[in-house]
Structure 1
Amino acid sequence: MPRALRTPALLLTTVALLSGCGATVEKSQEDRDAAARDHYPVTVENCGERRTFAKAPERVVTNDVGITEIMFALGLEERMAGYVMPDNKGSVHQVPWKGGYERTTWLSKKRINTELVLDAKADLVFAGWNYGFDEGEGFTPAKLKGLGVDSYVLSESCRSGRTKARGVMPPLEALYTDLLNLGKVFDVEDRAKELVATFRKEVADVEAAAPRGADRPRVFLYDDGRDRPFTSGAYAGPHDIITRAGGDHVMKDLKDSWTAVGWETVVERDPEVIVINNYGNVSAEEKKRFLLSYAPLARVSAIKNERFVVLDYVDLVESPRNPSAISRLAKELRRATP
């Protein structure tokens, strides 16, 4: 066969073979730019507000570990100016998204603020109410907007009305909503849908094997607090983590996310298992010793039988680690149930 005819035929054959094998043909920058022009503008609903983005943000600042790892799970490190996070939220060296931390900048271990955001030349802040946004500190989406910086609010933290109570959807749905919204905002929808499908299957598999009805152990989430315990209501991550793992969340009637209750309520509801949130300057072991020594709890089943499960902070706040936390808690609940 003449060379002039052979080359195009060979190219066609190679392309066909690559397509048939599922190989990815790298798009040119021109093709990617054209695809982006076709994708934008995009509109998503965030905490009841419709938000339109003319293009993908390029210098995102995130606040806190769960929020930061949502970006990493979507492969968006290159879109980040950096993250803000104290160093008492657990190790970031043995995590699924270790590479994300290595490729981005730890901007501060202190509270996020306007000066830090402007110094980072951020075009978007991904934070939440009580996860960075706070009227008392003067750091709000409205203030950022006035300075030309956009914001995206963590769905777990959405406020439910005129009060500061948080929660407008089940915790896992908040995670899935944020993944899908951000997938659209950053034009990585396929990746977001794949993550959500994987997480849904992982959770469904755990639920299928979980106990039901009266066999579900009563579970209380202890975050911290001596005079009054800080815990999880129906709209924070622990609610879905406990219930999907096969537990009966004793504070499921609290229409809030993270909130404080009285010890008398804990005693009355008599949890059989206590999940301890491991973070901060007070270790999980110190929290456990306090609970065991606190006289008003002496007759509570979990205390009498010393049934405790420790999960890390990032397992319990909205984050891509929530599904694996459900799997791990389910195993512990089976061990803890007589």
Structure 2
Amino acid sequence: MNKKLIVACMFFSTLLLLAACSNKATGNETEKDAAKSGQTEQDEKIIIDNNDFVIEYDKAPSRAISLNQHVTEIMLALGLEDSMVGTAYLDDKIYKPLQETYEKVPVLAEQYPSKEQVIEAEADFLYAGWSSAFTEKSIAAREELKELGIDSYLQMSSTKVAPTLEDIYTDIRNIAKIFRIEDRGEELVSQMNQDIEEITAKLPEVKEPLEVLVFDSGDTEVFTATQNFMNTLVTMAGGRNVFGDVEGNWATVSKEDAVERQPEVIVVIDYGSTTVEQKINFLKSDPALSETPAVQNEKFVTLPLSAASEGIRAAEAVEILAKGFYPDAY
């Protein structure tokens, strides 16, 4: 081989080596960028302790079913409709900005689907808002679902006493992590925070917050919110839940006790077959409850149950309450 050919070969070998090094460096940078973005690799195992039930998610689910309205709305807000094969159990109308997307996903049942329906849909993931979904009477226990090859997640903020916004954000982040879309989860949390801050910034400065009774239902007694998320929402909107000192999330109290606490506003929860108008008419006609300042001054605020649940509509719920409590500020 002549001298010129040897030199040429050495030159091209050097170029190939440099190119290989460059590609490796670029690959490393790409990996670093992916890590910085907060995205989990599709094949990375995710382990989550979900209400003392540890689940290992080997890959992002592709055939998910949401089992309650507030978790359906979380999935849709995260843009996961293409990974869903069904929804179930609406409390009322779906959140309007998500209506069009919601219509793209099949509704499997008016309430909970049967285990057979879940299997027939070839579901690989069930997302429940309430623990009632994962029982033998509804679908199946989570242990049985796991044996069937179906992973699950139960909204933790909906199963604890005195849940906070941060508890909801933890659920949103967990779902985003399971589906390997952490960036979308952070964007949703950030938008919710921003919306809530804009609403609460308009609240007037008051010496004492308004005394608020949450009326869910009841005729001989009152079924009311105590330390559940509605209590959090009432506080954020500048009110004070008159039964916020009672332990637990819900309580049945006597009418006399409700009257004694002198609520200035009554938040009427809208859901089910009994209309808001029927509930308000009952409050006005009841000999005891009609004596409260709220009823006498006709200070009623209607809050949809779907907005009051531990989902993406916290800002909407706070806005409804704040406008009802302090209309002059809005």
Shift of residue 213, structure 1, vs aligned partner: 6.1
Residue 232 (structure 1) aligned to one of 225, 232, 246: 225
* Counterpart in the other structure of 1:268: 260
> Measured at CA, do residues 271 and 133 of structure 1 come closer, stay the same or move farther in structure 2, by a change above 3 Å?
farther
Give the distance between the partners of 1:333 and 1:304, measured in 2 at CA.
15
* Counterpart in the other structure of 2:55: 51
> Taking every aligned residue pair, what percent have the same amino acid on both sides?
34
Instruction: Give the residue type in structure 1 aligned to 2:255.
Output: W
* Counterpart in the other structure of 2:301: 309
The 5-angstrom pairing of residues 99-138 of structure 1 reads: 99-130=100-131, 132-134=133-135, 137=138
**Bigger Cα displacement from structure 2, 305-314 vs 210-219:** 210-219
Give the distance between the partners of 1:142 and 1:261, measured in 2 at CA.
37
* Counterpart in the other structure of 1:90: 92
* Counterpart in the other structure of 1:321: 313
SS of residue matched to 1:97: helix
Which 4+ stretches in 1 moved above 6 angstroms? none
SS of residue matched to 1:174: helix
> Measured at CA, do residues 130 and 254 of structure 1 come closer, stay the same or move farther in structure 2, by a change above 3 Å?
farther
Say what the alpha-carbon RMSD is for the aligned residues.
Answer: 2.4
> Measured at CA, do residues 187 and 101 of structure 1 come closer, stay the same or move farther in structure 2, by a change above 3 Å?
same
Determine whether 1:278 maps to 2:282: no
TM-score, scaled to structure 1: 0.78
* Counterpart in the other structure of 2:211: 218
Instruction: Give the residue type in structure 1 aligned to 2:326.
Output: R
Instruction: Give the residue type in structure 2 aligned to 1:47.
Output: N
Give the distance between the partners of 1:139 and 1:38, measured in 2 at CA.
28
**Bigger Cα displacement from structure 2, 101-110 vs 264-273:** 264-273
* Counterpart in the other structure of 1:151: 152
The 5-angstrom pairing of residues 13-28 of structure 1 reads: none
Instruction: Give the residue type in structure 1 aligned to 2:100.
Output: G
TM-score, scaled to structure 2: 0.80
Give the distance between the partners of 1:264 and 1:142, measured in 2 at CA.
45
> Measured at CA, do residues 157 and 67 of structure 1 come closer, stay the same or move farther in structure 2, by a change above 3 Å?
same
* Counterpart in the other structure of 1:32: none
* Counterpart in the other structure of 2:28: none
Instruction: Give the residue type in structure 1 aligned to 2:184.
Output: R
Give the distance between the partners of 1:149 and 1:280, measured in 2 at CA.
31
Shift of residue 204, structure 1, vs aligned partner: 2.7
> Measured at CA, do residues 68 and 270 of structure 1 come closer, stay the same or move farther in structure 2, by a change above 3 Å?
same
Shift of residue 49, structure 1, vs aligned partner: 4.2
* CA deviation map 1:165-199 (0-9, x unaligned): xx155242232111111111111111111111121
Instruction: Give the residue type in structure 2 aligned to 1:95.
Output: K
* Counterpart in the other structure of 1:10: none
Give the distance between the partners of 1:69 and 1:271, measured in 2 at CA.
32
> Measured at CA, do residues 285 and 75 of structure 1 come closer, stay the same or move farther in structure 2, by a change above 3 Å?
same
* Counterpart in the other structure of 1:209: 202
Q: Does the CA contact (< 8 Å) of 2:57 and 2:151 recur in 1?
A: no
Residue 68 (structure 2) aligned to one of 61, 64, 71: 64
Unaligned runs of 5+ in 1: 1-34, 159-166
> Measured at CA, do residues 131 and 273 of structure 1 come closer, stay the same or move farther in structure 2, by a change above 3 Å?
farther
Instruction: Give the residue type in structure 1 aligned to 2:201.
Output: A
Shift of residue 103, structure 1, vs aligned partner: 1.1
Instruction: Give the residue type in structure 1 aligned to 2:240.
Output: D
> Measured at CA, do residues 265 and 156 of structure 1 come closer, stay the same or move farther in structure 2, by a change above 3 Å?
farther
Determine whether 1:40 maps to 2:44: yes
The 5-angstrom pairing of residues 163-178 of structure 1 reads: 167-168=160-161, 170-178=163-171
Larger radius of gyration: 2
Shift of residue 202, structure 1, vs aligned partner: 2.1
Instruction: Give the residue type in structure 2 aligned to 1:97.
Output: L
Instruction: Give the residue type in structure 1 aligned to 2:185.
Output: A
* CA deviation map 1:49-93 (0-9, x unaligned): 44321111111111121111010011000111101125xx3233x
Instruction: Give the residue type in structure 2 aligned to 1:201.
Output: Q
Unaligned runs of 5+ in 2: 1-38
> Measured at CA, do residues 195 and 142 of structure 1 come closer, stay the same or move farther in structure 2, by a change above 3 Å?
same
**Bigger Cα displacement from structure 2, 217-226 vs 262-271:** 262-271
Instruction: Give the residue type in structure 2 aligned to 1:301.
Output: P
> Measured at CA, do residues 233 and 169 of structure 1 come closer, stay the same or move farther in structure 2, by a change above 3 Å?
closer
Instruction: Give the residue type in structure 2 aligned to 1:144.
Output: L
* Counterpart in the other structure of 2:82: 78
Give the distance between the partners of 1:102 and 1:221, measured in 2 at CA.
32
> Measured at CA, do residues 138 and 53 of structure 1 come closer, stay the same or move farther in structure 2, by a change above 3 Å?
closer
Residue 334 (structure 1) aligned to one of 323, 326, 330: 326
> Measured at CA, do residues 138 and 118 of structure 1 come closer, stay the same or move farther in structure 2, by a change above 3 Å?
closer
